[in-house]
Chain A
Amino acid sequence: MPDYILSTSNRMAKRHAREKRFKWYGRMAIFISIAFLVFMFSAIIFRGASAFQQTKIALDINFSEAIIDPSSSRDPELLKRANYKPIVLQSLSNVIPGITERRDRNRVYKLLSAGAVFDLGEQVAEEPNILGKSKKVWLLASSEVDLFMKGKIDPNISEDLRRLKDRDIKWIKILQSEGRIKKKFNTTLFSSGDSREPEMAGILGAAIGSFFSLLVCFLIAFPLGILTAVYLEEYAKKNFLTDFIEVNINNLAAVPSIVFGLLGLSIFLNFFNLPRSTPLVGGIVLSLMTLPTIIIASRSILRSIPQSIRDAALGLGASKTQTTFHHVVPLAMPGMLTGTILGMARALGETAPLLMIGMVAFIVDIPKGITDVATSLPVQIFLWADSPEKGFVERTSAAIIVLLAFLILMNLCAVYLRKRLERRW
């Protein structure tokens, strides 16, 4: 047997070693990227997981009619804005003994979130029959109490260095011993808009703002992108003009997104006077940004449809438009949709252009339409990350988790659509 066909021969051994080495380089590269990903995700989840729980305090509230609704009007607006503080204080002093002085009373009241009384007001307005009765109600605890319950405040450090004093901790222990303080699933995070108080802040407003922006973005970018791609690829003659357009589309795809934001500011807001801070303008700006991505992806998909399919249809006497819309576009559709969804996913994570058009405002209300002022998920993350309150740290991570969940969902959609529509018979 000749030596060179044995794997032990010098030349072969070298070749095998090279192959092995290359495989290991590849594995190392994958390992490093996955390690980064795992590190990022675990850091975010580790920080954000606790935000999905919120500490609540149970109090036996006596809904005294004399205090809440002395005029017996039962007007929901009045009920919402009634003075619930004395009632809450009464309930608190029933549970915690020895608070008689005004200072103590104010201090113990701070265990609850400032939003607790609003929740009570909402509850009464919704159900006025409760007046005159007593009921056990779970009320939002303040952010400091929440952090303490989650073990994020160390009671052993000097009292001067923490906002939660020893006295507060003593009261918390009393509530705890009676089973009146508990961590519950944080519904506020998913049901309310932004707030200055971390325990009252939610991402619903931002999520809906993002949804409306993406809706506007999709409605503009998808038809424009697909039609542009189809025209350029199937109809337009190759000449100086189409080359020029192509170069510009490629350039647009590489323009930093903040530039689109400035464009939106100067054209849509200042020139067309569209409403500031709204998903309408946000969506238009995002669509400008997504458009080149969709066009480029769609064109490359159209280019990959074999010419033989076009020949077959044309040879049968189908017109150009019939060929395109009966055969080429349906075959390209899954790829076009994938490109669109990936572009939209990028738009969902976009922050900079939205800052320019004022979607960075502090907005408590949940937007009801595309012309209501709104913010968006990534901007909300930006805003919370910037907030000094400690309670926003975990909420920032929670918002990131939600944003990532949406992104993963959109990408899964793209994969599903591609698999589903790939070949339609």
Chain B
Amino acid sequence: MINKTEITQEALSILPPIMTANNVDVFYGKKQAISNVSLDIPENQITALIGPSGCGKSTFLRCFNRMNDTINICRVNGEIKFSGQDIYDPKVDVVALRSRIGMVFQKANPFPKSIFENVAYGPRIHGLAETKDDLESIVIQSLKRAGLYDEVSDRLSEPGTSLSGGQQQRLCIARAIAVDPQVILMDEPCSALDPIATAIIEDLMETMKEKYTIVIVTHSMQQAARVSQQTAFFHLGELVESGDTQAIFTNPIQERTQNYISGRIG
């Protein structure tokens, strides 16, 4: 056990971070939602953002693919780099950025279209497939990676919304994978799912991290402990503590973290 922890810590320090946030502040109008957060996201690892409701973890997650741009009154200060490039640089095309950094939302939100069309939409708008066969193989590949293909292979033309909640969420993961991103942001992907569907998705994340970097916001500390290698604890818009998951849960440095994981706040 100790041995394994040492290896992951070592791995964390060796791998260069794929995304870095430096002194990020987020404001909704005059209200400051995030203050001065700095966090590195290591490549091909799962980073969990935990904290009580309203602590700003989702807001922080949405900074990574600039989804906050869609909220008029939202303003982001500071620097977020993706592969060394500041993503808030005016030269950066947000459309291209989001094709590199996919997102899975809290509530499964398949398009009211067929399963196939749901997955094919991304590759289509980004021109990733030259021919129909290419597109089909991308769709099948993505569904397989999301662990959904076996369940839906014979009904790809059925509406995506006819699937069960867990299947819909995996369809959304497949849809995000289809555009071949490097990072996948997950905003409480399991909060509306039953334990079995949750377990399936957690297993899926475990295999996905070989190819993708995952940042997940979760309410469930157990989930964070189960799936992530790095954990960041947010409280009242501040990053209280971040580091190796094992260390955070067994031996937190900050008192607030200690209080949260033992259930005294939140």
Contact = CB atoms under 8 A, between A and B. Distances in A.
Nearest to A308: B109
**Which of A237, A310, A311, A313 is most buried by chain B, counting CB atoms within 10 A of its CB?**
A311
B105 A316 contact: no
Nearest to A327: B111
A310 B111 CA distance: 9
Interface stretch (A92-100, A317-325, A351-359): A317-325
A208 B126 CA distance: 49
Contacts of A318: 95, 121, 125
Nearest to B66: A314
A103 interface: no
Nearest to B107: A308
A107 interface: no
A238 interface: yes
Contact of A309 (B111, B114, B176): B111
B131 interface: no
Interface stretch (B9-17, B96-104, B220-228): B96-104
Interface in B172-193: 172, 175-176, 179
A316 B102 contact: yes
A315 interface: yes
A367 B91 CA distance: 59
Contact of A317 (B72, B107, B109, B125): B125
Given A317-B95, A317-B122, A425-B114, A312 B102 contact: no
B105 A308 contact: yes
Interface in A283-320: 306, 308-319
B70 interface: yes
Nearest to A331: B112
Interface string B107-137: 1011111100000011001100000000000
A136 interface: no
Nearest to B161: A423
A411 to B, nearest CB: 26
A60 to B, nearest CB: 70
Given A316-B122, A317-B98, A317-B126, A423 B105 contact: no
Interface string A234-248: 000110000000000
A326 interface: yes
Contacts of A306: 109
A312 B65 CA distance: 13
A317 B176 CA distance: 10
A99 B126 CA distance: 92
B112 A314 contact: no
A315 B99 CA distance: 8
B112 A316 contact: no
Contacts of A309: 109, 111-112
User: Which bucket holds chain A's interface residue count?
Assistant: 20 to 34
A30 B1 CA distance: 74
Contacts of A326: 121, 125
B92 interface: no
Given A309-B109, A425-B159, A315 B95 contact: no
Nearest to A316: B122
**Which of B70, B102, B107, B159 is most buried by chain A, counting CB atoms within 10 A of its CB?**
B70
B199 interface: no
A315 B102 contact: yes
Interface string A27-55: 00000000000000000000000000000
B253 interface: no
Contacts of B265: none
Contacts of A310: 70
Interface string A318-349: 11001000110001000000000000000000
Contact of B105 (A315, A317, A322, A331): A315
Given A316-B98, A317-B126, A319-B95, A311 B121 contact: no
Contacts of B125: 316-318, 322, 326
A316 B121 contact: yes
Contacts of A314: 67, 70, 98
B124 to A, nearest CB: 9
A314 to B, nearest CB: 6
B96 A317 contact: yes
Nearest to B162: A425
Contact of A312 (B96, B105, B114): B105
Interface of A: 237-238, 306, 308-319, 322, 326-327, 331, 423-425
**Across the A-B interface, the 7 shortest Cβ-Cβ residue pairs:** A317-B99, A308-B109, A315-B103, A317-B98, A316-B122, A312-B109, A319-B95
Interface of B: 65, 67, 70, 72, 95-99, 102-103, 105, 107, 109-114, 121-122, 125-126, 157, 159, 172, 175-176, 179
12 contacts: A306-B109, A310-B70, A311-B67, A313-B111, A315-B102, A315-B103, A317-B96, A317-B126, A319-B95, A322-B125, A327-B111, A331-B112
Given A311-B103, A315-B67, A317-B95, 10 more contacts: A306-B109, A308-B105, A308-B109, A311-B105, A315-B98, A316-B176, A317-B125, A327-B111, A331-B112, A425-B114
